[in-house]
Each structure stands twice: as structure tokens, then as C-alpha cells.
Amino acid sequence: MSFKGERKYFFWGLTAFSVIAASMVFYDLLFSGKNIATFFDKTFTILRPITYGLVLGYLFTPVVNWMERCLFTPICKKAGWASDTVKAKKRMRGLSISITLVMFISAIYGLISMIIPQLVSSITSIATQLPTYEKNLENFITKLLRDNPQIETMANSLLAEYSTEFSVWLNKLLPQLGKVGNLLKEVSASLLGLVKILFNLVIGIILSIYVLSSKEVFAAQAKKIIYALFEQKSANQLIKDFRAVNKTFGGYISAKLLDSLIIGILCFIGISILGMPYTVLIAVIVGVTNIIPFFGPYIGAIPSIILILMVDPVKALYFTVFVLILQQFDGNILGPKLLGDSTGLSSFWVVTSITLFGGHFGIIGMAIGVPVFAVIYAGVRRWITRMLTAKKLATNTEDYMNLSEIRDHEYIEIMPPNQSKNEGKDPDKVFEATEEQRIHTNKAKNERHAYTKNARNKPDPINQKHNDHQ
């Protein structure tokens, strides 16, 4: 038997084996999906410290790069020391990492030292003064209903309608609240989960040191793998796409964290001047929830208003007005100044991304949903642009607004006929005149398309610009 015959049978056998293996995998996915999901869930749980390390290393990278570039390098130049040797770079990298970690740990410690006492004090105050808060709220509602008979009538009708359902729900809830053993188990589980999170965070901080120390090596290894697996043109385009992803995602996260920090500080200053209770606690709630786009201000404002409402309903109204003013400042001045158009998403896609990722991943999904969706959106847009460029078509969305058809690269617009000018004329001549007018009006668009095509051949500034995250 010839070698070609043996090779043919070998490929037949390999194909049959692949089909059988794929069928077995499909059967396992179809009937044993829970086991596979459990396996992946356990794997992700085990790798959680590594995930923390990678995330922290990614977030610390701009700070470390800034210290090396803007702090230690000028110091070395002024002192006459060499800053381009391997030994000097290692020293600068070590000092930058150390200072960054000290700043991070100090910020976490300071935040916890402020929040925990304030939180304990707030919970203790709420528990001890709950009867007073209840009496104040009762007096406020009684006065409101007495001064507004229409609201009182509507409230009485609602109470009469839903009192039975509320009684049934309360009767089901009370026996569950009476089970102290279940409550202790839940509290113990929560404490154990908190200990696990702290342990994973400590391991993640240690791993972030290795990530920051060898980030250039990791980037070089990733490029090496890409060039090994793809053609040179595809590899160049893939690396270019990764740089765009890094610019979009990293820029948004850094700017949003800074924006939330400023909003938290401004909130603390404002409610301190207004004499609000629980100033630190409310400022932290508003600042942290501000990380979530669009819905974050409302998520943080609602529990804060409830806390102030139990103390003083009038101050709760003042706080509501203050939060609205603060969010208007953030949405119209501070946010655009820091974030700019880093995502490139419209309001529709922002709400869609928050809803989608929040439904799957909760609060964390709502926080990172916008930059992740922005990366996906940018990737699809770049892919569509490349396909249109290959077909020698315009990539500007405005060129397709009133488009009727494209005929030999001529962009024909939808233009309603002018009845007043065309009355009594031959329809064929009217059509010809209108067709000429359409082509004439689209001449500028065709020239802009040619200009855009020539501009695409210029070097991409993203490839020339130094990337801090590389």
C-alpha cells in the first residue's frame, strides 16, 4: 500500500474519531450540563486569588508607570544617576510598586477605619432610637394626611385593598424571623465569606507584585504567541485591537474611579455644611454607588434618604435636592470632563449594557458592564469598518442616513418629489431631472469617501503612542 493511501485512511480515521468525540461532548453538555457548570464554578472559585492579582496589577499599572516616568526618572537625571540600565530600572520599578501598594493599603485601612466605627455607631443609633424615629414618622404622616384629605382617602382605600395580603405575608415572615438558629447560620456564613474574601485579597496583592514586576515579559510572551498562531497582517491587526481595548477599558475605569472619589468628597463636604446625620456613611454610599453608571446615583440616594428620613423628614428633603444638584454637576460638568467620550456609547446602549450585565453578575456587572460592552461595540464597529473598506464603501454613518441605494459607488438619496415645480411636466423627464439632482447632491459625499479612504492609509496614531498598560 502506498503512502498516499495510508495517509488517506489516517485522515478518515481522524475524522471519524473527531465526529465521535464531538458527539460525546455534545451529549455530555446536553444531559450533564450541571456537572460541567459545577466544574467551571469550582475552577473559577479556586482561581479567584489569581483574578484579584491580575485585576489589581492592571489597576496599579498606570500609577507605577507614572512614578517611573514622571518621578524617579527626573530625579535620576537631576542627580546624575543612570536611569536606563537594567539595575536602575529594577530599583525604580521596586520603589514604584512599594509606594503604590503602601498608598493602596493605607487608603483601604483609612476607609475601613472611618466606615466601620461610623457604621457601628449608625446601626446602634438606629436601633436605640427606632421608637423615636417611628414616632416622628407617624406624626409626619398623620399631619400630612390631616392637611390633605384627598391623600388620606386614597391611603385608606389602598390599606383596605392590600391589608389582607399584607397580613398573609407577615404571618409567613414572622415564623422565619423567629428561627434564631437559621439567622446565626446566615451570619456565620457571611463572616466566613468575608474572611475568604480578605484571604483572596491578600493573595491577590502578593500576586499583583509579580504581575507588575514582569508586565513587559507577559506582554512580550502574549505577542510571541499571537505572531506564532496568526499571519503577520492578522497578528498586527489583533495587537492593534488589543491596544484599542486597553485604551477604552483602562481609561474608563481610571476616570470613573477618580470621578466617584471626587463625588464622595463633595458629598461629604456638602452634607456636613447642611448638618446632615451619618455624614461619613452617606458620603461613602454615594461615592461607591456612583461607580455604577446611570443607575448608581439613585441606588445610593434611596437608602441615604431613608436614613435621614427617620431622623428628620425636612432634612431628607434638603438632601434630595442636594443630591439632584450634585448629580447634575457630575453628569454635565465633572463626568464629561474626566470621561469624555471614552466609551463611544449612546444612552440606549449604556442602559442596555447595565441591564444585561447587572442581571447576570449583579452589582459588579453593573459597574463594569459599560466598559465591557463598549469594548464589544468598538470591536464590532472596527470589524464592520474593515468590511466596508474592503468593499470600497463609505464608513461614515451619516452617508447612510437618507440613502436609497448605492449604484456603482454613487450614493443615491431618498428625496421626495417637488410637486409644485413638477406639475404638468412629463414624468420621465421629472424622474431624469430628479435622478441627476440626486447624483449631484451626493458628489460631496463621494469626495469625502475618497478623502476618508486616503486617510485610512496613514499610520494609526494608536500604534505610535506609548501605551501605559503594555
pLDDT, tens digit only, all 470 positions of the chain: 454 556 667 777 788 888 888 887 777 666 665 666 677 778 888 888 898 899 888 888 888 888 888 888 888 888 777 777 878 888 888 899 999 999 888 888 877 777 777 767 766 776 677 677 667 777 777 777 777 777 777 777 776 666 666 666 656 655 555 554 555 566 566 667 777 888 888 898 999 999 898 888 999 999 999 999 989 988 998 898 888 888 878 778 888 888 888 888 899 899 989 888 878 888 888 888 888 877 777 888 888 888 888 777 888 889 999 988 988 888 778 877 777 666 667 777 877 887 888 777 777 777 788 888 888 888 888 888 888 888 888 877 777 777 777 777 677 777 655 544 444 444 444 344 344 444 444 554 555 555 444 544 444 444 444 444 44
Contact 279, 268 (CB under 8 A): yes
The rounded distance, in Å, linking the Cα atoms of 348 and 360 is 19
Cell numbers of 243, please?
491596544
Contact 372, 343 (CB under 8 A): no
Q: Print burial letters for 24-51: b (CB count within 10 Å at least 16), e (below 16).
A: eeeeeeeeeeeeeeeeeeeeeeeebbee
Q: State whether residue 413 is helix, strand or coil.
A: strand
Residue with cell 421626495: 416
The rounded distance, in Å, linking the Cα atoms of 274 and 265 is 14
Residue type, 116: I
Q: Which helix (H) or strand (E) holds 262?
A: helix 232-273
Which residues neighbour 370 within 8 Å (Cβ) at sequence distance 6 or greater? 252, 293, 343, 345, 350, 353, 354
Which residues neighbour 389 within 8 Å (Cβ) at sequence distance 6 or greater? 395, 453, 456
Helix, strand, coil percent values for the chain (each to nearest 5):
85, 0, 15
CB atoms closer than 10 angstroms to residue 96: 21
Whole-prediction pTM: 0.61
340 backbone φψ class: left, alpha, beta (φ>0; ψ -120 to 50)? left
State how far the alpha carbon of 271 is from the alpha carbons of 118, 286, 318, 321, 332, in Å: 15, 11, 9, 11, 21
The rounded distance, in Å, linking the Cα atoms of 398 and 394 is 9
Contact 31, 37 (CB under 8 A): no
